C-alpha cells in the first residue's frame, strides 16, 4: 500500500467492516431460525395500581426475550434493532400480539383475571406496515380475546414520523376497544399540541425520570409536570422503572398511582406471574373506573 493511502483516505473496505457485515448476516440468519425454532420467550412484568394504600395488580407488560441455545436469555436491546432493520420484527411482533391475545382469552372465564390488561410493545416498522391495523384485528378475531384487555405501547418518534397516518391507524384500532399507551414518555420530541391530537389512553413516564426520585429536583419537577399534563388531557398515567419505596411514595403523593418496576416484580414467565397474583389481588374493573374518574 502506498503512503498516500494514509489515515485521511477513505477506505471502502477494511477487515473490521467485513467482520461487521458478516456478523450482521449471521445474526440475521440466527433471528430467522429463532423464529422458526420457537426460541422467543415472553416475560410478563406486573403493573400495579394503588388504591387507599393498597396495591392491586391491574395488568402486565409483555417483554420479549430470545432463548438462545448457547448464549442463554438474550435481551431485546441486542436483537430488536436488527429485527427492525431486516423487517423480521413484523412476524416477531405479530407473534407477541397473538400470544397476548391468547393469554387474555385464557383468563376470560376467571372472574378476577379477566380484568387484567396486557400491554404489548409495537415497533416503528411494525406500526408503519400497511397491514398493521388488519394484523391487530386479526389477532383479536382469531383468539376471540376481548379487545378491552389489550393495550398497545407506541413511542413518540414512531408516532411523529407521520402524525396523520398514526392517528388514523390508532383510531381504526381503538374502534374495537383496544387502548393505546405512550411509552418512554419525555424522552422524545413530541410537542404538547401533537400529544393532544393523539387518541392516547395512557402515558408511561420513562424510567430515566423516575430513577433519581425523589432527591433530584429537576426530575421531580418533570414528573409532576407530566402527571398534571396527563390529567389535564384525560389520560391515565403510569410510572416505569419504580425500584424503591421512596419513588413510589413520591409518585403517589403527586397523584400517579399506577406503577411498574422491580419494586413489585421483575419481568417473569407466565407461571410466576400467576403466582404473583396471590400477593397482588387483581383490581376489579369497577375500582379502576372509580380511580380513573378521580372520584
What residues make contact with Mg ion under the rule CB under 5 A? 121, 153, 183-184, 240
Query: Which grid coordinates belong to 97?
Result: 400480539
CA dihedral 65, 157, 209, 60 (to 10 degrees): -40
User: Binding ligand C2E by CB under 6 A: which of 34, 57, 64, 288?
Assistant: 64
Q: Single out the segment in contact with ligand C2E by CB under 6 A; choices: 109-117, 193-201, 224-232, 258-266.
A: 258-266
The residue with cell 409495537 is 122
Distance CA 272, CA 145 (A): 22
Three-class secondary structure assignment of 154-171: ECHHHHHCCHHHHHHHHH
Buried b (16+ CB within 10 A) or exposed e, 58-91: bbbbbbbbbeeeeeeebebeebbeebbeeebbbe
Answer whether 46's CB lies under 8 Å from 264's CB.
Answer: yes
Alpha carbons 285 and 269: distance in angstroms, whole number: 24
Whole-angstrom distance, CA of residue 115 vs CA of residue 96? 20
Choose the contact partner of 261 out of Mg ion, ligand C2E, none; CB within 5 to 8 A by kind: ligand C2E
**In angstroms, what is the minimal distance from the CB of 64 to ligand C2E?**
4
Q: Does 59 participate in binding ligand C2E (rule CB under 6 A)?
A: no
How far is residue 229's CA from residue 248's CA, in Å, rounded to a whole number? 19
Backbone phi, psi, residue 289, to 5°: -60, -45
Size of the site for ligand C2E (CB under 6 A): 25
- Which of 30, 31, 34, 45 is close enough to bind ligand C2E by CB under 6 A? 45
Segment contacting ligand C2E by CB under 6 A, of 134-142, 195-203, 212-220, 237-245: 237-245
164-183 residues near ligand C2E, rule: CB under 6 A: 183
Q: Rounded to the nearest whole angstrom, what is the least distance from the CB of residue 111 to Mg ion in the complex?
A: 28
Residue 75 is a binding residue for ligand C2E (CB under 6 A) = yes
Q: Does 188 bind ligand C2E (CB under 6 A)?
A: no
Binding segment (CB under 6 A) for ligand C2E, from list 46-54, 132-140, 173-181, 256-264: 256-264
Question: Which residues sit at the interface with ligand C2E, rule CB under 6 A?
Answer: 45, 62-64, 75-77, 80, 89, 93, 96, 121, 123, 153, 183-184, 207, 240-243, 260-262, 267
Amino acid at each position: 500500500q502506498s503512503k498516500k493511502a494514509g489515515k485521511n483516505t477513505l477506505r471502502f473496505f477494511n477487515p473490521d467492516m467485513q467482520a461487521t457485515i458478516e456478523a450482521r448476516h449471521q445474526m440475521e440468519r440466527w433471528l430467522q431460525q429463532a423464529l422458526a425454532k420457537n426460541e422467543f420467550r415472553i416475560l410478563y412484568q406486573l403493573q400495579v395500581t394503588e388504591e387507599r394504600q393498597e396495591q392491586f395488580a391491574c395488568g402486565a407488560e409483555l417483554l420479549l426475550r430470545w432463548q438462545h441455545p448457547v448464549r442463554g436469555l438474550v435481551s431485546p436491546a441486542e436483537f430488536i434493532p436488527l429485527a427492525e432493520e431486516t423487517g423480521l420484527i413484523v412476524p416477531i411482533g405479530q407473534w407477541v400480539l397473538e400470544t397476548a391475545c391468547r393469554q387474555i382469552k385464557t383468563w376470560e372465564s376467571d372472574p378476577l383475571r379477566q380484568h387484567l390488561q396486557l400491554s404489548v410493545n409495537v415497533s416503528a416498522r411494525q406500526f408503519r406496515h400497511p397491514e398493521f391495523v388488519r394484523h391487530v384485528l386479526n389477532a383479536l378475531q382469531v383468539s376471540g380475546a376481548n379487545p378491552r384487555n389489550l393495550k398497545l405501547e407506541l413511542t413518540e418518534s414512531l408516532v411523529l414520523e407521520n402524525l396523520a397516518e398514526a392517528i388514523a391507524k390508532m383510531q381504526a384500532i381503538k374502534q374495537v376497544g383496544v387502548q393505546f399507551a405512550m411509552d418512554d414518555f419525555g424522552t422524545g420530541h413530541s410537542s404538547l399540541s401533537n400529544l393532544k391530537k393523539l387518541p392516547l389512553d395512557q402515558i408511561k413516564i420513562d424510567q430515566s425520570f423516575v430513577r433519581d426520585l425523589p432527591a433530584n429536583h429537576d426530575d421531580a419537577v418533570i414528573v409532576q409536570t407530566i402527571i398534571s399534563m396527563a390529567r389535564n388531557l384525560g389520560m391515565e398515567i403510569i410510572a416505569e422503572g419504580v425500584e424503591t419505596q421512596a419513588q413510589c411514595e413520591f409518585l403517589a403523593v403527586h397523584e400517579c398511582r399506577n406503577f411498574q418496576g422491580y419494586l413489585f416484580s421483575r419481568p417473569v414467565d407466565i407461571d410466576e406471574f400467576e403466582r404473583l397474583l396471590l400477593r397482588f389481588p387483581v383490581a376489579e374493573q369497577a375500582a379502576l373506573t372509580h380511580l380513573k374518574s378521580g372520584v
